[in-house]
Amino acid sequence: MQFAKSLFSLPVLVLVLFFCTFIFGNLLDITIKSNLYAISILIKDLIVCILPIIIFSFVSSGIMNLQKESTKIILILVPLVCISNFLGFWISYTCAGPLLKSGAISISKLDSGVVLHEAWHICIKPLIKNDIALILGVIVGILAGIYRIQIIKKTIETCAIFSNFILKKIICPALPLFVLGFIVKMQHEGSLIIIAKEYSQLLAIVAILTYGYMFFLLFCLSNFNIRATLTKAKNVLQGVIIGLCSMSSAAAIPVTIKGSEKNLDNPDIAKFVIPATANMHLLGDCFAIPVIGLAIMISFGQGLPSPLQYLVFSLYGVVAKFAAAGIPGGSAVIFAPIFEQIFGFDQTMVTALTAIYMLFDPIATSSNVFGHGVFAVLFEKVYTYFNTRNKYINK
């Protein structure tokens, strides 16, 4: 029974879909590919549509269950996000800068010229934005936690039951079909082969730096226990796969929450922290965007920026993270004006930055999702430390 469950788990299914699509993808008619991609887009739009409800219910219930600790949580959460993003920027600069300066890697123009469009599209938009749902969830959760108003409590509990039902009974079973369309698109456009041929070295730098840093951080948070580290990483693997294939960290939120709950002593923290930070704590982008930008500067003969220039850039970047969209290519759009203002990027360089980032977006987004899981563990450790310290002082 356990073997059968493992055999049909999402990671195994995705690997099977990858290999089958890679081998037999060219045999599929373009109409079938377009329809499969359209179905994936539809599922993604449905997830994004109900995402505000999930964010509201999980954030409000998480704060309510933590009762009067909600203000302390917010005061810890925002500075911790800023520090984490800032460290990501500087680790990428410190580690990748010398290697790029050596000239070992260069950037050339890349355009496959092939695009797969969806056969049809149903326009589905959420009734409210995620940030509005987040704000409402915080306000309602605080009110319910402090005043314990029954009607608010019942509403939150009902929303949480509904969200869990949607997550477990609808979203999770649809994930293989959701992933398939995006795999077919990548196979048809040849993006995986193109990246492997033209950008494998730069992609390797981004992947090694990002995942290496986050695995090391998770290893430290797991009390330097390798087995515990791997277990925690495995628990959020499904969310990482969704981010890799869909290039949307927002679409991976429900699955990431479910996996992160297993990594925490208090599952309510995952329900609050991950939706609250999903768009502003994009650790993968803190590595991908600077490395790509620095590589473009080297290729265009500008050289690396000075530490002071990069400090200004990183401070702007930390602020810009709060405006990130969590959608494919969203971070490149947000950061383009910063590269223009701080590093003097012209239109050609901005275009190169955006195009290359879009190719790297699967890796960046998957590492963003993995970073959400790591950050949840980090937050619980910091929150527990301050909570225990305050109790000791009060005594």
pLDDT in tens, 171-214: 767 777 877 887 788 788 776 565 556 567 788 888 888 899 99
Q: What is the pLDDT of residue 229?
A: 92
CB 53 within 8 A of CB 171: no
pTM passes above 0.85 = no
Q: Is the dihedral of CA 23, 25, 26, 28 positive or negative?
A: positive
Number of residues in the chain: 395
User: What pLDDT does 35 receive?
Assistant: 93
Confidence (pLDDT) at 194 = 59
301: left (phi over 0), alpha (psi -120 to 50) or beta: left
pLDDT at 334: 72
What is the predicted pLDDT for the residue at 162?
A: 83
pLDDT confidence of residue 355: 67
pLDDT of residue 356: 75
pLDDT at 5: 44
* pLDDT computed for residue 2 by the predictor: 35
The whole-number pLDDT of residue 170 equals 79
Grade residue 105 by pLDDT with cuts at 50, 70 and 90: low
Using CA atoms, how far apart are residues 113 and 190, in angstroms rounded to an integer? 10
The answer, yes or no, to whether residue 378 has pLDDT greater than 50, is: yes
pLDDT band at 245 (very low <50, low <70, confident <90, very high): confident
What is the pLDDT, as a whole number, of residue 280? 77
**Rounded distance between C-alpha atoms, residue 263 and residue 365, angstroms:** 21
Ramachandran region, residue 190 (left: φ > 0; alpha: ψ -120 to 50; beta: rest): left
Q: Where are the domains of the chain?
A: 29-394
Q: What is the CATH number of domain 29-394?
A: 1.10.3860.10
Between 144 and 196, the more confident residue is 144
The confidence band for 226, taking pLDDT boundaries of 50, 70 and 90, is: very high
Q: Residue holding tokens 């950008």?
A: 199
| % the chain with pLDDT above 70 | 81
> Residue 368 pLDDT > 70, yes or no?
yes
Is pLDDT at 340 greater than 90 in this prediction? no
* pLDDT, tens digit, 9 for 90 and up, residues 124-133: 877 787 668 7
Of residues 262 and 198, more confidence is placed in: 262
Cα distance between residue 251 and residue 307, in whole Å:
36
pLDDT in the model for residue 191: 62
Q: Which pLDDT belongs to residue 69?
A: 58
Determine the average pLDDT of the residues in 278-304. Answer: 84
Q: Average pLDDT of 230-249?
A: 84
Comparison of pLDDT for 15 and 232, the residue scoring more: 232
Going from the C-alpha of 98 to that of each of 36, 121, 259, 286, 344, the distances in angstroms are 44, 46, 37, 17, 21
